[in-house]
Structure 1
Amino acid sequence: MAKRSAHSSVQQFSRSRSDCMIRRMAIICMLFTLCAAAFPVQATSEDSWQLDWEVDLGEGYISTKPVIANETVFVRSSGFWTGDERPQVFAFSLEGEQRWNRTSATTVQHDMSPLILITNGTGPCGSWPELLVVGWADGTVEALNPENGTLVWNQSSYVQGWGITGALAVDGDHLVVPTRNGLMRICLSDGTIDFDVELDLGWRNGVLVTDGGFYIGDEAGTLWHVNREGNASSFASLEGSIRHPPLLTNAGILVHVQHPTSSAIYAINLSNETPILLHESGPSPAIPSMKGDYVVTGDSSFLSTFECQQHCTLRSQYSTTTNGELVWVEMNRIWYSVNLPTGHWSMASLNQTGAITNSTKFSTPHDGYGTAAPAFDEQRMVMGNDAGILMMFTLGQESLLDSEPVISEPYDWTPAFGAFILICFLFVGAYSTSLQRIDWAWKIVVLTMLISMLLLMPDLSSSWSQTVSEQTASEKSDQWNNTWPEAWAGTQIVVIEIDGEQETVGGLLGHETALDLTLAAAQEASWEVEVESTELGTFVVSINGEEGSGWEYFLDGERAGQSSDLQPVSESTVLEWRLVRR
């Protein structure tokens, strides 16, 4: 009896000690999870930007992006003024001390041609030092010494109400100037005019430089082409006003045309000069900007992104009001000003397909109307608004290792929440084991492993598919059909099969995912493709109204293993869609 009592006491002591250890481990795990969730590791946060100094430039707007170079900040004022105040160009040290300023006593309103800093060089028309070039609304082009603001040379252009308001462009050893009524090309060494072409009246209409010449829009919606001999021709006629430098994309020349109460984005084919309407949007367009295959546009309704490869495709829209400059930081971040009485700056983040995932607000002590984009170097950000306030921000010491000055995206709590749930399951399993409920413990462990595998499966599948795609990217597809045009060899091909009947589109290039390739082929062949987005990815629901029991796709004869928006494709793949009927 004594032995049994002693044995029972030892068992109870052992179980009590085991329960105590389990409780302690559970508490430690939960505290660790909560700490990880409460103190997430993030990139540079908004708090990392510290206001270093600010300067009031007086009457007038800051409507163009400052320039940071040579340990100096260059900025210009523009717009309306009172009394003897006139627009100026300023140079400040990185500490905010004014080094020089230059006033144009004869200029008029709308001084909004961006400053352009040109490095020294030599060309057929001569040699030139480093120049800070200013286009004034009185029609004057001035080349200044950036060290002290003294005049190197100047040149005059036509004025009707105002003169130069658009962005200048460098063309080798020449400067190309969008004048009030045309386009002028001058030598960088001394300002000598190469040619001065009369077109039609323009405003804020910058110039696009290409190997074949120059493109510029006007207030009547005409897109002009001027060859290198100075001969002009109408390239495209669009209703409205073109108030920005045209963009050269893989799909043609992109312009955002302004209408009285709306706007429209077009891509003009270079070979047949046919304008294609991409999208209709809100009024008062911003100045579109391009990075790689992606174009961002803005207006009083939306910030929009397009992917332009063989065709331009609208990727996403974000509701906002932005009417000025847009600037890229890295490949996936865009800074823009929100042009409202309570306006501010914002940064939009893009995913790998060019879609806007979120927009983060950046406030300053002087929020309000603004159209000028911020300027960046490795550790600084300079911005100015319509109130004429110039502000310099620097990164905190803890963020100086960041290669690009960006603010953080909102923290995603999903991983921390998932880890907390898994730890809770493991705690319950451990507690069940302490109660000798082995069957329940095993069930909980298996359930935990299943949940973990489901969470990891998309990343594992994507990595595996990417590896396979990279290994086979250079191989010629075994699915080649000898009836296809030889010009399709080495390109991306899409086949649609319905009840044994096939339609094929080939000669496609540059598409990175199966979905992108499918939508490009659909646009080429006028197919109607309906897709549905789920938590597991985006799936094709119907093609040309055919749904059946679903659609499945094959890459080079092999059935794909994930959703089409996640599936990488090679440069010479054959993508085949088959309708399933059961």
Structure 2
Amino acid sequence: MRRITLIVLLLFLLANQPVQADENESSLMLPDLGWSRDVDIGFISTAPLVTQGLVIVKGGGDSSKAIDPTMVAYRADSGSEIWRATHPISTYNFEISPLIHVSPGTMECSPNHDMIVTGWTSGQLTAHDLVTGNLLWNLSTSAPSWGITAQGLSIEDRIVWPTETGIIEVCAANGTIQNKYENDTIRTYRANIGMWYSWYNSTMDYGYLQGTESGNILKYDLNLTLIDQLNVPVIANFTGAWKIRTTPVMYQYDVSPEYPLIGLLTHIQGDGESRFVRIDWNETSAPQLIEYHTLGPGSATPLAGGSGTTPIATSAGVVEFELNNNGTLDPIVRWDAKDISGEIRPIQIGVESGYCFPQNTAEGSWYIATDSGNATWIPQHSDWVTAGCGSDLYVLAVANDASWLEVRFDLLDINTIREIADDTLGVESEPIEIENSEAGEDAQQNQQSSDSGGSSGIIILPFIGAALLAIFSYFAQQSDLRRQIQIGALLFTILGLLMAGSIYNSNIVGEPDEDSSDRLRISNAIPQLENELAMDEVLVTIHFPESYAPDHCTEGEIRLYETGEAWLLSPAPENSYCVLVAMIPVDAGQTVEDITLSSIDEFGLNYEVEQMTLGSFLQDIGNAEGGLDNHWWTYDLNGGYGTVGMADQVVEPGDEIGWFFEISEY
């Protein structure tokens, strides 16, 4: 019987398969421990932020030692401290609102440079310069009890963040409030912002969800107008006190029988137990309980947004769910992690993705699970653990209530991490010589030298042939023979030019400058797409103007093919009426052409590639045929105009390819 795999908060449309685990599974080898620090900033109760070659930790301070709540930034490669920023007006000695990285952009409210945003138990939301830690802006919100304790979202040029008594939307550039909802009778605690999505008659809409300490789900539109309030315990007929401290999500479809209705999914916490609840709406638009599953006590909080593949975790273990053919959810315990409390975080280790679960005991540790195995990370200085793991493509970091920070990475990646940190900080460091690598580097240099010399020799041959034929033609007595020899010389010349152009493209022209084209880069508008990218994947985006958009591709829609997840840009940019997105695995040496055609095949669209003199040329995608109204397909690589043909531009994991159908300037 066919099953559709669904992890809690996973959009069920055949998304990435969940991490597997069983008793016979091989142990996971974690990267080497690069460095560790006694940060001495009190309890660290939220995951380190690993970004742009830096590791940033946030502690609650320690009033007994006159230590204020503090953020500290370190270089990921060396552990050198870069800056500290304090927040003395918080006095609770715990800070659990996560840190997020906000990238610069070109929209009205986009910041001019990278910054870090976080909330505090004082009720303040603050933004800090990524490089210096300097305070860029701050704003105060209502904090009758514990202030801000949850995570918000960076969407386009705005920041949406949950407060203790509501929700706010601010301009990322300066922190001015754009929209807000506030109600002094509600309380929220560690409940990250969730998302709701609905599709009716091929039209998509979405907004925000927020759980409360009384078990309510608040539903907002994009302007933060409260459009619904669901009392989950009442709808489900639960007795006792219940609270929602996780990230809810809701999917509603009216497309075809292949898109079954999921409804609202939330993990609700009671006295000594928790329950996974599914609610939908009947024919009269009244909410009704579809099913619930009783789980262990406690709850752990996944990332804000709630559209990723996040399992449920309690003190009793980790649970995933499968949607069977009867339309109900089957619970399956998949990992042996115990005593989980705090944050669930997705991670990447090498080319693998997985999850990190904090096991909150006096000898706290982190249970890490990936496709190939699992491991328990026991720190050198143990204490209680509620903070999740922080990670990027290269670095894995954890911290605990002992104010102890540990950072792991593959030592072979240290120079890459070093270069990223240097680029962020605007400095230049000497590369680190890795033991036993010199021979390999010499061989690589020799190979490059050999390739370069060989290429030069090959380029010369056609021109030598052309010169010899030209000389021979001078001595030819018959005009027909002379003409044929001259034609041969011309062909040799053309061949030499083509070869020179190809080698120029391959060896001389570099990658385009990032974000230099001023065209929409989707990962800047929807940062979680980049966060969900696996270690070996490339992000491909295809932008359609309105007149050439595929069927069922609505205005402002950004749709991820693998999961069916969608986001809405309003208003839609002129040449990005709708955008199709795919995450494609990449092998060494593959090019923009290889990855692009794989993505178009996944979308099920027709395409035509023409072989031109200077290489392959993408002529058509779907109804967008090159030449119509002088529109042609061109690509960006990481936000910069492609400088070479798509068959010549090699791509690497983490790259973003964007295709645009625009009026030619030539």
Q: Give TM class, smaller chain.
A: 0.5 to 0.7
How far apart in 2 are the matches of 1:395 and 1:121?
32
Residue 230 of structure 1, aligned match among 224, 227, 235: 224
Query: Superposed, which structure 2 residues align to 1:450-529 within 5 Å?
Result: none
Counterpart of 2:297?
283
Counterpart of 1:341?
362
Residues 61, 70 of structure 2: 8 Å contact kept: no
Relative contact order higher in (CA < 8 Å, ≥ 6 apart): 2
How far apart in 2 are the matches of 1:385 and 1:78?
11
Query: Superposed, which structure 2 residues align to 1:148-547 within 5 Å?
Result: 148-199=132-183, 200-210=186-196, 211-239=205-233, 240-248=242-250, 251-269=262-280, 272=285, 273-288=287-302, 294-307=309-322, 312-319=329-336, 320-329=338-347, 333-349=354-370, 359-397=374-412
Aligned-pair CA distance for 1:359: 4.5
Counterpart of 1:516?
none
How far apart in 2 are the matches of 1:255 and 1:235?
14
Aligned-pair CA distance for 1:227: 1.6
How far apart in 2 are the matches of 1:300 and 1:342?
15
Residues 294, 305 of structure 1: 8 Å contact kept: no
How far apart in 2 are the matches of 1:293 and 1:166?
17
Counterpart of 2:47?
65
How far apart in 2 are the matches of 1:281 and 1:43?
28
Aligned-pair CA distance for 1:157: 0.5
1:157-216, Cα deviation, whole Å (9 max, x unpaired)? 001122111111123221111111111111112111112212411111211245432110
- Pair 1:195–1:169, CA change in 2 (3 A): same
2:125 matches 1:107: no
How far apart in 2 are the matches of 1:45 and 1:180?
39
Aligned-pair CA distance for 1:288: 3.8
How far apart in 2 are the matches of 1:329 and 1:367?
21
- Pair 1:318–1:86, CA change in 2 (3 A): same
2:70 matches 1:88: yes
Instruction: Report the identity percentage.
Output: 24
- Pair 1:181–1:133, CA change in 2 (3 A): same
Residues 104, 110 of structure 2: 8 Å contact kept: no
How far apart in 2 are the matches of 1:163 and 1:68?
25
1:419-449, Cα deviation, whole Å (9 max, x unpaired)? xxxxxxxxxxxxxxxxxxxxxxxxxxxxxxx
1:32-84, Cα deviation, whole Å (9 max, x unpaired)? xxxxxxxxxx99953x6322211112252111111122221111112764242
Amino acid at match of 2:383: G
1:382-410, Cα deviation, whole Å (9 max, x unpaired)? 11111110111222549999xxxxxxxxx
How far apart in 2 are the matches of 1:292 and 1:59?
33
SS at match of 1:82: helix
- Pair 1:49–1:126, CA change in 2 (3 A): closer
Counterpart of 1:475?
none
How far apart in 2 are the matches of 1:141 and 1:277?
37
1:301-324, Cα deviation, whole Å (9 max, x unpaired)? 121112469654323244511112
* Equivalent pairs, count: 356
TM-score (norm. length: structure 2): 0.49
SS at match of 1:321: coil
How far apart in 1 are the matches of 2:110 and 2:414?
44
Residues 169, 208 of structure 1: 8 Å contact kept: no
Q: Superposition RMSD on alpha carbons, in Å?
A: 3.2
SS at match of 1:100: strand
SS at match of 2:32: strand
How far apart in 2 are the matches of 1:327 and 1:166?
14
Residues 344, 367 of structure 1: 8 Å contact kept: yes
Residues 184, 195 of structure 1: 8 Å contact kept: yes
- Pair 1:198–1:120, CA change in 2 (3 A): same
Residues 291, 328 of structure 2: 8 Å contact kept: no
SS at match of 1:284: coil
Q: Which runs of 5+ in 1 are unaligned?
A: 1-41, 352-357, 402-509, 512-582
1:106-131, Cα deviation, whole Å (9 max, x unpaired)? 01324111000011113344654322
